[in-house]
């Protein structure tokens, strides 16, 4: 119900009502919402007020629009805490989801100047370039490019890459992964990301660039990943020193 005598703005009351219905499961992922006109008539308010509430919920990731079809409830975002160094496979299994990968390309290339500098190897030294789509329960979550020194990680194959790269490195090669430096920024999706992640043009994606090191400080990999912003969010716990 909307309380028009409340000091709380009407659009905010609508937002909170819909959020509550989404969070308690009354409204489920991909459920269709009534039109702005239906909302306006139901609450006897202006369509502009309804539009403001819907726009805010779309911007916050609770809802999404499909041109010509209407407004729908978004899938719940996967949340990853930016503490600890885990693989995508480990993250998804911890959530009870089935991780998988679709390999787009797997080849050995000559290291560019930038990759050579990041991996501390010679210019044009052999490097594995791995491009793949990371999926959870068959839903595309991220588009990933990985660069690993072929002289450090030997015997890499497509089947290994399709399983878990970290598991192979630690269990089969006996290398101990230590730490990583990571940057995170929001950008608009490229045509390639739109295609492979099955998202709309101009959708935001979370670009993560990570440099991972072994325990002895040896650079292990350079990773660039584009995560769907409508399905993924990252949290950070911070302590004041």
- As a whole number of angstroms, the distance between CA 198 and CA 221 comes to 27
CA distance 169 to 224: 19
At 221 the three-state DSSP class reads strand
In this prediction, residue 95 carries a pLDDT of 67
Could you tell me the two tokens for 8?
Answer: 């709380």
CB contact at 8 A, 226 and 206: yes
The arithmetic mean of pLDDT across residues 196-219, rounded, is 90
Share of the chain above pLDDT 70, in %: 89
Q: What is the pLDDT of residue 86?
A: 65
pLDDT at 77: 62
Strands 63-66 and 204-214: unpaired
- For the chain, the residue count is 241
pLDDT at residue number 84 = 57
When comparing pLDDT for 28 and 144, which is higher?
A: 144
pLDDT band at 237 (very low <50, low <70, confident <90, very high): low
pLDDT at 78 over 70: no
Residue 241 has pLDDT above 70, yes or no: no
Structure tokens at 197: 């992640």
Question: What confidence tier does 132 reach under pLDDT thresholds 50, 70, 90?
Answer: very high
Tell me: the pLDDT tens digits for 154-185?
A: 999 998 888 788 889 999 999 999 988 888 88
- Asked if 182 and 209 touch (Cβ cutoff 8 Å), the reply is yes
Give the pLDDT band of residue 104 (cuts 50, 70, 90). very high
Mean pLDDT over each residue of the chain, to the nearest integer: 86
For the segment 177-198, the average pLDDT, to the nearest whole number, is: 90
Give yes or no for residue 83 having a pLDDT over 60: no
Over residues 64-88, the mean pLDDT reads: 71
The pTM for the full model equals 0.67
> In this structure, how many other beta carbons lie within 10 angstroms of the beta carbon of residue 199?
20
Between CA 66 and CA 22 the distance in angstroms is 18
Residue 139: the pLDDT is 84
Structure tokens at 232: 């993924």
> Rounded distance, CA 134 to CA 128, Å?
18
DSSP symbols for 26-41? SS-TTPBPPPHHHHHH
Closest among 158, 144, 143 to 108, alpha carbons compared: 158
């Amino acid at each position: 119900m909307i309380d028009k005598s409340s000091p709380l703005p009407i659009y905010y009351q609508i937002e909170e009502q819909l959020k509550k219905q989404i969070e308690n499961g009354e409204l489920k992922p991909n459920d269709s919402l009534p039109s702005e006109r239906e909302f306006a008539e139901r609450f006897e308010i202006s369509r502009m007020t309804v539009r403001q509430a819907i726009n805010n919920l779309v911007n916050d990731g609770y809802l999404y629009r499909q041109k010509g079809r209407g407004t729908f409830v978004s899938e719940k975002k996967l949340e990853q805490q930016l503490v600890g160094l885990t693989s995508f496979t480990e993250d998804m299994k911890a959530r009870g989801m089935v991780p998988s990968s679709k390999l787009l390309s797997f080849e050995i290339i000559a290291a560019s100047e930038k990759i050579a500098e990041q991996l501390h190897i010679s210019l044009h030294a052999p490097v594995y370039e791995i491009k793949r789509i990371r999926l959870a329960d068959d839903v595309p979550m991220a588009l990933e490019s990985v660069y690993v020194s072929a002289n450090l990680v030997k015997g890499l194959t497509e089947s290994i890459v399709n399983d878990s790269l970290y598991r192979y490195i630690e269990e089969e090669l006996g290398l101990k992964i230590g730490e990583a430096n990571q940057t995170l920024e929001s950008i608009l999706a490229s045509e390639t990301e739109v295609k492979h992640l099955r998202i709309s043009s101009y959708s935001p994606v979370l670009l993560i660039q990570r440099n991972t090191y072994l325990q002895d400080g040896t650079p292990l990999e350079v990773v660039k990943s584009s995560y769907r912003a409508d399905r993924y969010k990252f949290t950070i716990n911070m302590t004041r020193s």
